[in-house]
Chains A and B, each alone.
Chain A
Amino acid sequence: MNVPTMAEMMAQGKQPEVLFWVGCAGSFDDRAKKITKAFVKILNKAKVDFAVLGTEESCTGDPAKRAGNEMLFQMQAMTNIEVLNGYEVKKIVTACPHCFNTIKNEYPELGGTYEVMHHTQFLKTLLAEGRITIEGGKFKGKRITFHDPCYLGRANDVYEAPRELIQKLDVELVEMKRCKVNGLCCGAGGAQMFKEPEKGNKDINVVRTEEAIETKPNIIATGCPFCNTMMTDGVKATNNEASVEVLDIAELIANAEDL
C-alpha cells in the first residue's frame, strides 16, 4: 500500500492532485481503518496522485462543535487550516461525512477554502473519467440497501453519488421506507457517538437497523464510519449478524475486485 504524506511530497517538491483527509475514525477505529485501507487500495489501483497529512492531521473539531464547544472547534479549525494552507492544499477527499461537512462548510469562513469531496463523489468522478472500473464480482445479484448519513444527505444534498456506485456493482439496490431527505439518523450525530443516549425506550440505531432489515438486504451499505458502527451494532442487537453485513461503499468496490 502506497500512502505518501504531504511532508514527504513537499520534500520532493511535489504537489499531489488531492489530499486524502483520513479523519479520526479512519485513523484509529479498527472497523473504520478497514474503510480507509479499502479506499487507499482503490486510489492506488487508479494511480491517483494523493497524499495524507499523517501525524499532522488533527480532529476537524466537528464533535466538539456539535457538543457545543465552539471554542475548541475553532481552535482545531484554525490549527488545521494553518497546516492545510501551509501545504497549499486545493482539493480534499474524505471518507467521513462529518469531516466532509465541517471542512467544506465551516472552514471557509475561518480562512480555509478548498474543494472538498466525499469519497463517493470522488469515486464517481474517477469512474466517469475511466480511471476505475466497477464490477459486481462477488456481490453480483446481492440485495443492498443504502443508509443515508445525515451529514452527507440532508446536510449537503449528496444522495445520488453513493447510489450510482452501488448500482454499478450489478446488485439489487433496495430503498428503505425512509431514505434520502427522509432518511432516519443512525443515532451517532451531534456528538451522540461519544456518549450514552439520553433516557428513552429504544436505541435509535436499533430502530434504523430494523428499517434496513425490513428490506431483506444481504448488505447494508453506508458512507460514514459512525453510521457503520451504529448499524453494525444494530445488526448485532437484532441478531442478524449471520445474514447481514454492514459495509462502506469503498469496501464494496475494493472487495468486489478483491483488491
Chain B
Amino acid sequence: MEEQFPAIIVAVPLFAALLVTLVWWFDNRFCFPIAILAGTVSLAASAGLLLRVLSTGVVEYRMGGWPPPVGIVYRVDHLNGLFLVVISAVSLLNLAGSRTIAKKEFGEKLGAFYALYLLFITGLLGILITGDAFNLYVLLEIASLTGYALIGMGRRRAPLSSLNYVFMGTIGASLYLLGVGYLYLITGTLNMADIARILPAILPSNVVLLAFILCLSGLFVKMALFPLHAWLPNAYTYAPSTVSSLVAPLTTKVMIYVMFRVTLSIFTVDFAFNSIAVRLPLLWLAIVAIVMGSLLALAQKRLKKMLAFIIVAEVGYMVGGFWLGNRAGMNGAVLHIINDAAMTLCVFMAAGAIVYKTEDDRLSSLQGMFRKMPVSMTAMVVGGLSLIGVPPTCGFFSKWYLISGGIAAGQFAFVAALIFSSLVNTVLFFRFFEIGYFEPFPPEKTRHHGHTGYLAQSKEMAEAPLDVLVPLITAAVLVILLGLFSGEIVTRVIQFAIPAVIG
C-alpha cells in the first residue's frame, strides 16, 4: 500500500473527477462529499510520502513497472514532497469552504465545477510529482485547461479574460514543449535525471542554451512574471470566488516550482548559475516585477484586483530569491512558495466570503465591514499582515530569508525592492483596514439602485455561513502556524531540498 502512494496521489482525484461527472446526472448533492474524500486521500498519501522521504530519502515510483529512462517515473524528493503536502492541503481547505459559495455561483453546473476542480488538482499534483519532462507538459496542460474552464464559468468579463488567458497560457506551454523538443533532439531522452546525466558531456552547446531559454520563457508566461503578467489580474478578478481562491494560491506557485525543477534537476546548477550569465538579468527582471506589481496594486479600486496584482509582485520575490543563487535566498524562495500559498488562500477566501455577502468588491464600498463581518475581516487582517511581513505571521520569516540572502549576495537593489514592496503592502492593507474599520457607515440615502439586500442598509452583524468560516479560520491559523514553525520547516525539510553545491 505504502509503495503505491505516488500513484494514489494523482489517480484518486482523477478517478473521483470521472465519478463526480457520473454521479452529477443523478444527484448533485453527492459531488461535494466525493470531492472532499478524494482530496483527503490525496493529502494523506502526500503526508505519508513526505514522512517516508524524510526518513529514507528519495522515493522513485515506476509507472507500470517500466524502468527509467524508457518508462515514466514519479520521483519524490524533499522539494516536491513538501509541495505535494502544501498544495493538496491548500486545495482541500479551499474545497471544504466552497460548498455554500459554489452552490450560489454555479447552481446547476455544480457537478461540472467539482469535476473540473478535481482535475485541476490532478494536474497540479502530477506536475509536482513527475520525473519526466514531457509528462510534465501534459499535466501542465491538464491543469491549465481546467483552469481556463473554471475561470470562464464566471460572470461579466470572465469569459473574455479566460480566453486571453488561453492565448497566453498556450504560448507559454508551447514554448516549454519546444524547449523539451530541443533537449530531446540533443540527448535522446525525456527522463529528467537521464537528461541531467547526459548534458554535462555535451556542454557548451547552443542547442542546450536555446532549450533553456525556451523552457524558461514559457514558464515565465505561465507564472506571470512582470512583463508577461497581463493575463493574470483580469482572470483572477472575474473568476468565481471559489475559483480565484483555488487558482490564485496554486497556479503561479506550482509554475515557480517547475522553474526550480527544470533549472536544478534538468539543466543542473553548474550550467544555470556558472556557465551562462542569466543570473543577474533574471534577478533584475524579478526586481522590476516586484516594484511594478506593487505600484500597479496601489492603483486598483477593487479588492480582488488589488490582491491579484500583489500576486504579480510576490512572483518576483520567489523568482528573485531563486536567482540570488545562494542558500539563504533559495531557502527563502522555497519557504515563500509555501507561505504565499497559505496567505493568498487566506486573503482570497476572505474576499470570497465578503463578495458572497455583499456582491461588491469595490474598496470604497467596504465601509463598516468590520462590524458586519468580524470573522472574515479578521482573517483578512491576518493574511494582510502576513503579506506585509509582520513577525508572528509566516510572511515575515520568508521575507527575512530573502532579505538576508540578498545582503549575502550583495544585491541591494533586490533588498530595496523587497522593502519597498512591503511598504506598499502596508499602505494597501492599512487603507483597506481604515475603510473597513474607521470610516462611518454611509448615510442611507446614498445607497441607491441595485443594493436591495438588507445587508447594504443594516449595521447588524451579517457573517458568512459557518461552513465558509471554519476553513477560513483554519487558513488564518495556518498562516500563523507556518510562521511559528518556519524554523523547523527549513532545518528539517527545505535544507535538504536545495542542492549541496549551492553555498
Q: Do A and B bind each other?
A: no
Which A residues contact B (CB, under 8 angstroms)?
none
Which B residues contact A (CB, under 8 angstroms)?
none
